[in-house]
Structure 1
């Protein structure tokens, strides 16, 4: 029985660590954004510039620990590494849950969103299993006893995990779990489907007893059923509040608003264009790749002259900074403004490009993989 429990623990922990690491390595920039939230909570914002690099490193460690555990090599190092890692993550998820400072830990990226308490519960379970593995680490048996082969396996696992995270950083996630993935329709993702469940709330009253000074909260339903309103000793204080009791349908895209420099809303006009249009996303012009912007600008000029295709640039910078940037690079494309949060979700690149038609994302690219004008013409514009 003990042997079965140990093997179950080893395989469960190993596979979960590999899965968790791969899911986050699939989108290291998104994981980096999550780390920045934690950096702000712990007042170490000076690490923000290193967030993506740290994210890739953490993903590599997770994948490595999981793979090495299953391979059974370097057992002491792996057992200690797993224990240190899960203690660290359990602490973070407890802080998130107890103090409500980070609404999602990002444990499984955007693929499997977990609430803070769900994340903490998951980490507590892993902590117990890893403590068990650590205590019984001598039972870990390597797939090979040859030091040279063990070193080779270590090198292969390390190189593969590092290359995967580096690739997705430079060429977008392999699997896009965000609402702006290729094939999705932006206007539809901004609506609540007909018949979808809505949030259900209770109206809550704060009551105070005039004689005893006792206070309590009570729903409007209980207030009426128990006829508390007939008891002159109880009075309602303050304003009623709403308490969510059942979560309804959550709109996939709820924070996208595109405006011009004067604040006029252009969201509908841009995302619902019935023709092909190019949307260039550079959420931070101070950190964007200017060479890539110049290349995209040339592409936009050709697309407009030959196919009358509209190209817009979306940024979260101020209108004053964007205007200076546009004039300095002699941009042909129109500049509009949106909050950085939805822009970061649109495409994990700065800059990145989306090809839209009638609100649907036909394709999107990191600036490292942007096709040429001739390629775009052959595949999209000429059809």
Structure 2
């Protein structure tokens, strides 16, 4: 699959880059194609908008190609690639079926494809795009976000500048039927008599005593020496797609043949006479006067009516001949409005934009140099220049891709990007380099690990890196790797209290310390240390079997020991804080092991110092519990007391059995239906407000927690709002316990968040009580 992915990446990247660049090389021509598309939906006379829109789309297209090839912002680039291909595949299918326009413009004027050929091409690219999109998580970023975005901006400026240059001057390379070197007499003769032989100019060059013939479109490099040129017959398929060239004077008389018979002539081409400003007319007069100083005639070719052209001619004071032709011929003859074409004996020798010809005309010997030059050599030199500029531009972009990739890799390898290098939208830089650094660690570090089996909601997400240190020494060693130490991290147990919004762009660490040991023992109590990776209910069962009390009310709570002090887990009138003596953790800032007394953990309702002051800097490795050998039964919770009243001399084993039975009847098994247990905390409100609610809703149970404060069951509030048993797509609320949100097959984190927000809003509107998620949202 890696080979297929690479092939798809190279093909789509090069095609998008080439297509975008060719359109940027001739943005005016591309704007004409966009105008045709706009006419399909009824938008006419949108020339400026079409030009800008075409320029932007071409920049985006080329930028997608560059990003795919270089590996920039691959998550964004792959999505943009897929959107482009889906849209244009559907569009070209419509073009093939309805044929509303003649040319799709995929590769500008350079390559002409039929609509069906374009559609087939797009189908192939769509398949490649789908491969790239669904394999997007496998691509390794080349740099940190800031560097990659900076490179994107650099290329955007480069591509945009290319298009703007071509608008203000002329296309980088002319693929129109009237490109430099075209012999219009021969082209028209072919149109009028298809059986007539056509002719082309052949250039003879010499290198190391060997002579070869070249066409104007296939000029050799500078190591060859020009010898001679001659005109020879050529086959029809070597000629551009010129369909006609008809020029008339103000009286409607055709003057095409007389124009093409002139030995030399300068033609000012004005496709958009209505867009010429006063300054343009001043420039036009200057051009006419400068040409008038020479012996070469000057004419103006436009598409306006004779009356309009004559009135403008008189107003400006230009006494040259004004001829007329159709718009398509004008815009193909010169893309610049007011640009100049030099023609010798019907052969197009050179072209300039109005701006560039003004500079030429006002320079010393500019026009005379053109007049004195050999027409065939002049056209060959201009064509060579166009070709070289286009080839150098595309080569520069490709070389820049290679160079930037080398620079990024070199900079990262030498720790030059270390400060901002860690993560990039779900992917990490330098995968191979990091893998080399972690291969000898005692703790296995895995790239692109699925977390579906590591979160009880069963959300199908991935993490860039995954590690499960089984001892404190392995955890400390893990943080000796600079790249892992600095990247975003998430510490998880069994993933029973986590909601992933999407893939995690960093390292997930699962402390896998599973030792259980007695550290202290006396007549009344035992001090028991449990590793962070021990399953919580296993520990509870372990202690109950030995008659050690304190944790029995917390039976069947999902998760690992390491999470118990963070959340200060609690149920049925008990909390983990009641039994915790101390917590041992690795400080990721000081890079050392620390043990903190339970009294200093600032435990609160589902709260602790680990969620506040120490948030993000601790990785708990073990917890020390104080368990009683002669435990006092804690059965004051309503559901417990009812069941315990039926048992003579109940013990902690009875408590555990009852709690497990109650939880199993109310809560779904995550192995069957994804859930994170209680999704919301029970809100704590003022006792006065609770009393008012109790008077209004007698079935509401209130639990005093401190002076002036009471706890209200969030499940009751949610149930009253009608959410119990409800389903929204792939998520829902459990039918027996409204606190539990369910994630069915195919559920996404966003779906759960949307449902949770809906529930919170409903509770707030009805009871004016805020309920907060108990799960950690990542």
Q: Which bracket does the TM-score occupy, shorter chain normalised?
A: 0.7 to 0.9
Q: Greater share of strand residues, 1 or 2?
A: 2
Separation (CA, whole Å) in 1 of partners of 2:152 and 2:39: 35
Query: Larger Cα Rg: Structure 1 or Structure 2?
Result: 2
Q: Are 1:263 and 2:252 an aligned pair?
A: yes
Q: Is the 8 A contact 2:189 2:196 kept in 1?
A: no
Note closer, same or farther for the CA distance 1:22–1:379 as it changes in structure 2 (3 Å cut). same
3-state SS of the aligned residue for 2:352? strand
Q: Is the 8 A contact 1:347 1:353 kept in 2?
A: yes
Q: Are 1:7 and 2:1 an aligned pair?
A: no
Q: Please point out which of 171, 174, 178 is paired with 1:173.
A: 171
Note closer, same or farther for the CA distance 1:382–1:9 as it changes in structure 2 (3 Å cut). closer
CA shift at 1:309, angstroms?
A: 1.9
Note closer, same or farther for the CA distance 1:181–1:375 as it changes in structure 2 (3 Å cut). farther
Which residue number in structure 2 is paired with residue 349 of structure 1?
336
Separation (CA, whole Å) in 2 of partners of 1:38 and 1:316: 23
Separation (CA, whole Å) in 2 of partners of 1:277 and 1:196: 26
Which residue number in structure 2 is paired with residue 39 of structure 1?
38
Q: Please point out which of 323, 345, 352 is paired with 1:358.
A: 345
Note closer, same or farther for the CA distance 1:293–1:340 as it changes in structure 2 (3 Å cut). same
Q: Are 1:19 and 2:18 an aligned pair?
A: yes
Separation (CA, whole Å) in 2 of partners of 1:46 and 1:81: 29
CA shift at 1:154, angstroms?
A: 1.2
Q: Are 1:141 and 2:140 an aligned pair?
A: yes
Which residue number in structure 2 is paired with residue 379 of structure 1?
369
CA shift at 1:251, angstroms?
A: 6.9
Q: Is the 8 A contact 1:190 1:252 kept in 2?
A: no
3-state SS of the aligned residue for 1:123? helix
Q: Is the 8 A contact 1:293 1:351 kept in 2?
A: no
3-state SS of the aligned residue for 2:348? strand
Q: Please point out which of 303, 316, 321 is paired with 1:329.
A: 316
Separation (CA, whole Å) in 2 of partners of 1:32 and 1:160: 19
Q: Is the 8 A contact 1:183 1:361 kept in 2?
A: yes
Post-superposition CA distance 1:216-275 (Å, at most 9, x none) = xxxxxxxxxxxxxxxxxxxxxxxxxxxxxxxx868732222100122100011112212x
Q: Greater share of helix residues, 1 or 2?
A: 1
Which residue number in structure 2 is paired with residue 158 of structure 1?
156
Which residue number in structure 1 is paired with residue 77 of structure 2?
78
Separation (CA, whole Å) in 1 of partners of 2:38 and 2:29: 14
CA shift at 1:137, angstroms?
A: 1.0
Which residue number in structure 1 is paired with residue 280 of structure 2?
292
Q: Please point out which of 223, 241, 244 is paired with 1:252.
A: 241
Note closer, same or farther for the CA distance 1:74–1:251 as it changes in structure 2 (3 Å cut). closer
3-state SS of the aligned residue for 2:268? strand
Note closer, same or farther for the CA distance 1:187–1:289 as it changes in structure 2 (3 Å cut). farther
CA shift at 1:312, angstroms?
A: 0.8
**Which consecutive unaligned segments of at least 5 residues does structure 1 have?**
198-247
Note closer, same or farther for the CA distance 1:8–1:358 as it changes in structure 2 (3 Å cut). same
Q: Is the 8 A contact 2:273 2:302 kept in 1?
A: yes
Q: Is the 8 A contact 1:289 1:351 kept in 2?
A: no
CA shift at 1:382, angstroms?
A: 5.0
Q: Are 1:92 and 2:91 an aligned pair?
A: yes
3-state SS of the aligned residue for 1:53? helix
Post-superposition CA distance 1:169-219 (Å, at most 9, x none) = 11111111112112221212223265679xxxxxxxxxxxxxxxxxxxxxx
Which residue number in structure 1 is paired with residue 760 of structure 2?
none
Separation (CA, whole Å) in 1 of partners of 2:278 and 2:344: 26
Q: Is the 8 A contact 1:64 1:157 kept in 2?
A: yes
RCO higher in structure (CA 8 A, sep ≥6): 1
TM-score of the pair, normalised by structure 1: 0.81
Which residue number in structure 1 is paired with residue 269 of structure 2?
281
Q: Are 1:310 and 2:293 an aligned pair?
A: no
Note closer, same or farther for the CA distance 1:139–1:196 as it changes in structure 2 (3 Å cut). farther
Q: Is the 8 A contact 1:300 1:333 kept in 2?
A: yes
3-state SS of the aligned residue for 1:369? helix
Post-superposition CA distance 1:112-169 (Å, at most 9, x none) = 111111111111111111112111111122222x233212211211111111111111
Note closer, same or farther for the CA distance 1:329–1:118 as it changes in structure 2 (3 Å cut). same
Q: Is the 8 A contact 2:247 2:256 kept in 1?
A: yes
Structure 1 stretch 24-33 or stretch 64-73: which is displaced more?
A: 64-73
Note closer, same or farther for the CA distance 1:263–1:341 as it changes in structure 2 (3 Å cut). same
Structure 1 stretches of 4+ moved >4 Å: 193-197, 248-251
Which residue number in structure 2 is paired with residue 201 of structure 1?
none
3-state SS of the aligned residue for 1:278? strand
Structure 1 stretch 46-55 or stretch 31-40: which is displaced more?
A: 46-55
Which residue number in structure 1 is paired with residue 307 of structure 2?
320
TM-score of the pair, normalised by structure 2: 0.41
Note closer, same or farther for the CA distance 1:115–1:363 as it changes in structure 2 (3 Å cut). same
Q: What is the root-mean-square deviation of aligned Cα atoms in Å?
A: 2.0
Q: Is the 8 A contact 2:73 2:149 kept in 1?
A: no
